[in-house]
Amino acid sequence: MEIVLDAVEKGALSVVGKRVPRVDGAEKATGQAIYVDDISLPKMLYGKVLRSPLAHARIKNVDVSRALCLPGVKVAISAQDLPDTCYGPFIFDTPVLARGKVLYVGDAVAAVAAVDEATALEALALIDVEYEELPPVFDTDFAMDPEAPLVHENQEAYIKTFQAVQKGNICSHTTFIEGDVEAAFNQSDYVYEDSFTTQMVQQTPIETNGTVADYDISGRLTIWTCTQAPHLMQIRICDGLHIPINKIRVVGLRTGGGFGGKVEPKTQIIAAALAQRAGKPVKLVLTRKEEFTVTSPRHSSKITVKTGVSKEGKILARTVKAVFDTGAYADDGPGITGFGGMMSLGPYKIPSYRIDGYCVYTNKMGAGAFRGFGNPQCAFATESHMDMVAERIGIDPVEFRLKNVLQNGDLSVGGIPMPSVGVKECLEKTAKAAGWGKFLGKNRGMGVACLQHISGVLSSSAIVRIHGDGTATVFTGAIDIGQGSDTTLSQIAAEELGLPMEAMSIVAADTASTPYNWAVTASRITRTNGNAVRLAAADAKRQILELAARFLEVSSEELEIVEGQITVKGSPERAMKMHDIGGISHWATRGPIIGSASVMVEGHKYDPEKVIGFPFGTMAGFVFGSHIVEVEVDEATGRVQVVNAVAAHDVGKAVNPTGVEGQIQGGLVQGLGYALFEEIIYDEKGKVINDTMLDYKIPTALDAPNITPLIVEETDPGGPFGAKGVGEPTLVGTAPAIANAVKKATGVRIMDLPLNMEKLWREMKKR
């Protein structure tokens, strides 16, 4: 059905754009919100996972029989008890429990369910596993060597959801090509090449991953879990255990932090497999050590950027080689490597380029999606490099960027037109607010970074129901993981329906209640689910107006809804209340009003000659931002204090400005940890040595600078009321801006993250 949306004039909005209190605020502030560890079911068992002590070994035998003899142990399983299948988002390379080989220290080998945690832990010690140790691969340079041991021995046989270019331990190689790059370098007045590395960092959500699973006598599985993607989880469980989707219910609970690490399964499938055998509910919650050592961290990377510029400061050509360490399992690695590579052009118009992204298996835990999806690594490299180029050719970094920024209508990688490009305004606003160029004093420096990102991919759907009293409920598969989607999606529906926020409620994230949404990821909820919700509300509104038209004796086109009153345009005295329409539809005429909509971001298809091995065939909207930070460096210790930070983000339309500002603040501080001190460190046997919150520091309020969040609204014609996303990009610009500021403050250029005290102190000492 074709639904025609009313055009909305700027300023004509009554709910969208307002600073609305969070609909989930009170329950969270008072501790009433229910998280997975709050769930306790009668006869519930506790699950634990036996994990590999070796980085790479053949499993010769797993014997759970001694564990099963321990009183209180109800289930003990290994791969041989499960379907001979693997799952994964791009490459089906991940078994539920290790089959044939273990691929990293922490790989799941067996699992038990027992009456309490202590018994479950005791049972793990009774599982006998015979290993034959194999030489491990920890480094991507070594892994890419044809002589290196293979992490996956038959990856060619895996099911893949994209045309991967694979070789040895390279699980994907993505290439983007535009123009004659060699010729462009030859025409350039200057050509510079710099190499960078970034570290592995962990997700560190406040709440570790966890699940309660229950499997009933009728073959129906219920999963209560912290997740970013209840509907995606159904698919993975279906792939992993061969249970049809209609028999799987995933209830997405309140989720204590999800930055990408709660998209793919961590505990859900194992808990389901245990519950399936137990016939009782099973709770499986990761310990903090497990959260550090077996969940999907940000990929470490090695990135080389080469840029050709004219003497006027115009960028003419760029090559990027980015190698991402995806660890033992591909997970989102192929997508992340490709997308990171794509973003490594930055928000600049670069006529000729060649980008190569390599995603490489090693014997470490499988890396995955993490706020920014490859962009933070590449932006650190390219935005550091931008400053290095500007310095070499003697142009101010802001001025250099302004000379090259994208504008409305420019094309992105693969020839995609970008109708809404707010990067110039972001950069100008941040420079002005930060006082770019002002005198800062000794040991102080100011650094800038710009960024692009995407917003909105794949499909979502929504249902909007009008109740008998004229109030309304939105049904969405999108889960509010703290980002505020329950509030913004309610606002979008309220705006479209002409209802006040009080008349709205929202049901989210339970697959038995809500229509499909792919996942809360890719900064896509406001834009993609927002579109689905707006269209579903418009579908309901059409039905409301058609019904009201019968009673007000006009055509439905002559009607509008303002604050819950349906009125004849221009004759406000001819009106009906939504309450009356609710009653009439339920009790007297056509039956209840249900609006629904499904959307798919079809985007633009790439030219396959220019985009090779990229797992996404299409791409959605683009978002932009600019970060400027001011740092003070302690000469004696190398300690960097970020004093002030200004961040501007182009969000198309800020549906809830308070929420946008919260995203900017949160992303910026999380990026600060990435820039300055976070790092997962492995020993030589492939074991993580800093697997506690004491040994692995994340920023706290004491580390946070004064933050000035700035909102830029370059209307996105493809977004609801012009809106686009903001979840991920807020992190992306922070690390390069800090590195650039530290260079200004100290003269030292750090090209390897993290930019920690020791590293900076040593470099300063060298000078």
Nearer CB in complex with a copy of itself: 316/494? 494
**Tokens encoding 409:** 């209508």
Nearer CB in complex with a copy of itself: 564/673? 564
Identify the residue among 589, 637, 692, 706 touching a copy of itself (CB under 8 A): 589
Site for a copy of itself contains 310 (CB under 8 A): no
Which listed range, 380-388, 455-463, 568-576, 606-614, lies at the site for a copy of itself (CB under 8 A)?
A: 455-463
Nearer CB in complex with a copy of itself: 42/146? 42
Site for a copy of itself contains 372 (CB under 8 A): no
Draw the binding track, 60-99, toward a copy of itself (x: CB under 8 A; -: no contact): ----------------------------------------
Identify the residue among 12, 118, 512, 693 touching a copy of itself (CB under 8 A): 512
| Cis, bond preceding 500 (omega within 30 deg of 0) | no
For a copy of itself, the binding residues in 15-34 under the rule CB under 8 A are 23-24, 26-27, 30, 32
Site for a copy of itself contains 271 (CB under 8 A): no
Beta strands 352-361 and 282-285, pairing class: unpaired
Nearer CB in complex with a copy of itself: 26/183? 26
Sheet holding 57-63, edge to edge: 101-102, 57-63, 128-133
Site for a copy of itself contains 596 (CB under 8 A): yes
- Half-sphere CA count of 619, side-chain side, radius 13 A: 23
Identify the residue among 87, 436, 516, 682 touching a copy of itself (CB under 8 A): 516
DSSP of 369-417, one letter per residue? --TTTTHHHHHHHHHHHHHHHHHHHT--HHHHHHHHB--TT-EETTTEE
Nearer CB in complex with a copy of itself: 450/504? 504
Nearer CB in complex with a copy of itself: 65/246? 246
Torsion sign over Cα 268, 270, 275, 276: positive
Identify the residue among 245, 549, 554, 575 touching a copy of itself (CB under 8 A): 245
Residue whose pair of structure tokens reads 């990761």 in the numeric block: 286
Site for a copy of itself contains 469 (CB under 8 A): yes
Instruction: Indicate the DSSP class of residue 22.
Output: P
Q: How many residues bind to a copy of itself according to rule CB under 8 A?
A: 61
Minimum Å distance from CB 473 to a copy of itself?
Answer: 5
Site for a copy of itself contains 496 (CB under 8 A): no
Q: How many Cβ atoms sit within 10 Å of the Cβ of residue 577?
A: 14
CB 734 within 8 A of CB 674: yes
Q: How many Cβ atoms sit within 10 Å of the Cβ of residue 573?
A: 6
Identify the residue among 4, 146, 218, 767 touching a copy of itself (CB under 8 A): 218
Identify the residue among 38, 145, 182, 758 touching a copy of itself (CB under 8 A): 38
- Half-sphere CA count of 291, side-chain side, radius 13 A: 21
Site for a copy of itself contains 504 (CB under 8 A): yes
Identify the residue among 115, 121, 507, 549 touching a copy of itself (CB under 8 A): 507
Site for a copy of itself contains 4 (CB under 8 A): no
Minimum Å distance from CB 280 to a copy of itself?
Answer: 10
Which listed range, 124-132, 210-218, 294-302, 386-394, lies at the site for a copy of itself (CB under 8 A)?
A: 210-218
Site for a copy of itself contains 141 (CB under 8 A): no
CB 637 within 8 A of CB 701: no
| Strand extents, DSSP E, 265-420 | 282-285, 300-309, 315-327, 352-361, 411-412, 416-417
- Give the alpha-carbon dihedral of 697, 700, 705, 709, to 10 degrees: 110
Element of type H or E holding 712: strand 706-712
Site for a copy of itself contains 238 (CB under 8 A): yes
Beta strands 504-508 and 559-562, pairing class: unpaired
Site for a copy of itself contains 505 (CB under 8 A): yes
Element of type H or E holding 674: helix 657-676
**Tokens encoding 544:** 């409301």
Identify the residue among 18, 99, 247, 314 touching a copy of itself (CB under 8 A): 247
**Tokens encoding 736:** 């390069």
Site for a copy of itself contains 592 (CB under 8 A): yes
Cα–Cα distance between 625 and 423 in angstroms, integer? Answer: 6
Cα–Cα distance between 279 and 213 in angstroms, integer? Answer: 10
Cα–Cα distance between 335 and 583 in angstroms, integer? Answer: 49
**Tokens encoding 303:** 């990135």
Nearer CB in complex with a copy of itself: 304/513? 513
Site for a copy of itself contains 744 (CB under 8 A): no
Nearer CB in complex with a copy of itself: 308/564? 564
The region, left, alpha or beta by phi > 0 then psi within -120 to 50, assigned to residue 686 is: left
Draw the binding track, 597-636, toward a copy of itself (x: CB under 8 A; -: no contact): xxxx-x----------------------------------
Sheet holding 459-466, edge to edge: 504-508, 472-476, 459-466, 593-600
Minimum Å distance from CB 618 to a copy of itself?
Answer: 9
Closest CA to 509 of 486, 487, 478: 478
Identify the residue among 80, 246, 407, 637 touching a copy of itself (CB under 8 A): 246
Site for a copy of itself contains 591 (CB under 8 A): yes
Identify the residue among 379, 458, 489, 698 touching a copy of itself (CB under 8 A): 458
Which 3 state secondary structure label does DSSP give 294? helix
Closest CA to 720 of 1, 25, 15: 15
Minimum Å distance from CB 587 to a copy of itself?
Answer: 7
Site for a copy of itself contains 463 (CB under 8 A): yes
Nearer CB in complex with a copy of itself: 349/542? 542
Identify the residue among 188, 461, 708, 756 touching a copy of itself (CB under 8 A): 461
Nearer CB in complex with a copy of itself: 586/697? 586
Please classify residue 220 by burial: count the beta carbons closer than 10 Å to its beta carbon, then call 0-12 exposed, 13-18 middle and 19+ buried.
middle
Cα–Cα distance between 61 and 70 in angstroms, integer? Answer: 20
Minimum Å distance from CB 512 to a copy of itself?
Answer: 5
- Burial pattern 327-338, b for ≥16 Cβ within 10 A else e, equals bbbbbbbbbbbb
Nearer CB in complex with a copy of itself: 23/568? 23
Nearer CB in complex with a copy of itself: 611/737? 611
Residue whose pair of structure tokens reads 């799952």 in the numeric block: 87
Nearer CB in complex with a copy of itself: 251/440? 251
Nearer CB in complex with a copy of itself: 162/292? 162
Site for a copy of itself contains 217 (CB under 8 A): yes
Identify the residue among 94, 202, 222, 234 touching a copy of itself (CB under 8 A): 234
For a copy of itself, the binding residues in 46-65 under the rule CB under 8 A are none
Tell me how far the alpha carbon of residue 255 is from its chain's centroid: 14
Cα–Cα distance between 280 and 217 in angstroms, integer? Answer: 10
Tell me how far the alpha carbon of residue 280 is from its chain's centroid: 33
Site for a copy of itself contains 37 (CB under 8 A): no
Site for a copy of itself contains 257 (CB under 8 A): no
Tell me how far the alpha carbon of residue 567 is from its chain's centroid: 43
Cα–Cα distances in angstroms (integers) from residue 35 to residues 255, 587, 664, in the given order: 6, 39, 25
Residues of this chain that bind a copy of itself (CB under 8 A): 1, 23-24, 26-27, 30, 32, 38, 40, 42, 216-218, 220, 234-235, 238, 244-247, 458-461, 463, 465, 467-469, 471-473, 502-505, 507, 510, 512-513, 515-516, 518, 532, 585-594, 596-600, 602
